[in-house]
Structure 1
């Protein structure tokens, strides 16, 4: 899946949080009641960990079993895109059956969303606002900003790291003007330079830090995105290597604290955290449990109160909390609620709730861990598997999760119900017969024709209407909507509707006029039942600009 090609910064945007002495007691895991799951073998610390001169290096006891609450958190589909294979595809556009999913990009102080292009949205309080729209010609091959023959013409932003909006790196996937796949080139990562984006080396991590600065981890070196007169954290030298902790991931906090997780070359490549306290340039190395197996990924999630390390090994995944006190810092191993491999994790800065995603596809699981160490399972919509493309936790109550459910369907799921409305992009506008919702915004200006905005459907409405979905720009002018046609096949009432293509705000749409409100509801219900992922909207509405009539069911 496309998610496997994403950088660790996108798929595993993990952060650690700090517990001061007064907080440490409140954050200890209580003796867990049933139900429980047994700790994994790879989560158990070795009986005799290597000796260390670092504070907090006392032997680590095996964690107690994970406590799973009997309650659950329901997830809802809040945005959706469904597409079908188009038989005719222009040479300079990718086939419509290639997934172009939603991506979530959790930065330190905000969550960004990208979908179906280079428009960047900010997600906050259940609403989307447009932040920027990068013209494709601002993405260049090579490091020159001069005009080059190969420019991006059909791309998606799949990763954003750094500090928005000035110190930003983005990764894109798509096409160049000659039709060549961008992934054929060596480095599809770009750094913002003025109003352009030029090719840049890939940093391990980049994030907003303190005093308006952006801290960058490149290889094993820390630097500032914009050089300035500031003392940077000094990496600890090892007895067996120039830099003791070989960096895998980093977290940096507004108070100046920095944490880097990686292999400790002085302790047989055992995982460790190098931590710089606020205002300090010298670090402390904190040993982590001696987990078994080959390390695949390590992530660090942090706030100024809570700090966690999540690691994935070949055989199992593991979790530890870093407790910080005046006497020093120590790692506390924690049990996970499932034996499935960790796919992603996110820490809510508001209350320290840790959301952990495990597995993918039909076996995907999502859990929330509160400050008392209790896990609560999230329930996915019925029959909903997921290949994730990003996760962001807002609080103990609100999490957002993006991903694909098939090679033609992409969604954003959330524990907060209510559809996300894209200001200038309609979710579902990707495929010729998308079946996804595309209700126009009430009161929005129509590009090309003035019409009354859609109103709520009532029994007294004189113009009942079913808004089916937005139509892809790649769909032929005479596209015949096979999925919708199949859903209406054999339905005697199908001939009672007038199916039309119409224009709204410059977007080609498919809808249907109904004889009355009851039949409008009946059509919407049939399509929801028979077209996978369909979510038509009913309204009291008369399109002002009809493009053509489409015969889909029976004889008009």
Structure 2
């Protein structure tokens, strides 16, 4: 985490996932505008070692047929309680009174795409009542908090098509009621501080972050500002407005109400901002480096309550422990393993997913928790009653808690074996481009819904006609979260800035942006820059 620049794919220039919100979707005026861990109980290898010892007996000799016999798989403590609808990728949200799930790709039985929705586990099934559908296109649920069915707060990141929008909803009699909508911002996290629920909103690209009290008495915290006359995070000049010293990627709190914001400081180093109980201003702490081989790419960035009153877990590919006002790097669950997501139990046990396997850290050691039929875990969340919920193998699994949920009828849930799930981005939008970015991308134009797939961008081609200095650029059509963009991969920061400026001046009304990203490429757009025509 120390000394690295965070790097994501486009991942939601229009929409968030994971834990997180979209970046500004730039739009040019170019076309139709219709819109090594110690093994714990049940860990792999434990049963095998016991079997070998038993076969050896007093002599220590193992017969050939016994040595070749595979050890039985460890028994899982998790029980499947519901099937996940086909092709639905869910996030888990345990709240008081229910397990809620959210998805950004719900398809109704009649084939209608309903977009983002919140479902509830009931009698062994996940139901998606219309009352819990989230209105608007490109809205991604970040978190749900409170009590079901009458007192819920939901935070999400939406999009205007040009920038991300931090959104706060409360549940009313007819459905979600929007309480806040802040363009250009996204929720980096939510923390419980006494009787208040507090969120921190950071800029999707550029802008001023701010706190918002979602419920309860207002909590006034002050963000540490960067020096006004010095450029920050690799920029050539300071911004024309006050900038935060820490660009937050995660926000949370300890059990005693110490608030924490984790992110990148002005020197592009990982840092932690800490507000102790009763203090309005924060202190800054440097962040120790992760174990070799770990990275934050594709991992959610989270701050979770730790075992002690003033302790916290910080998850960002690796794990840090905040304790006694200091930070300590924690060994990964397995050598070189990357923690993709995690959740903390009421007793401070950290449940984490790494490479599709589920691990728990209680005390000073990790232990792997076997899952039924060896399925791969995608998400984990722990409720206030200690119930551990896991999305894996196309099903919802449960272990522990005050009472076992009413599951589906025995034998009706089919677990799906397969490769480890693809990592979910912790931030579904990219960082701004810069000289240290491994791949600068200039996003030139956002497709409207009516633009044809083979649209050839006449205004952009006109602006680039005769400008052969841009020949090193690779012009492409990209797709992210269902949205298409015209963009250009450029080999240098200087060329990216020149291309950005050329499109600004040559295409009226355009707002190109440089991001640090490597998105999915739909098709190449081979431009003859001498003539401004598309090469056939």
In terms of Rg, which structure is larger? 1
Q: TM-score, normalised by structure 1?
A: 0.46
Q: TM-score, normalised by structure 2?
A: 0.47
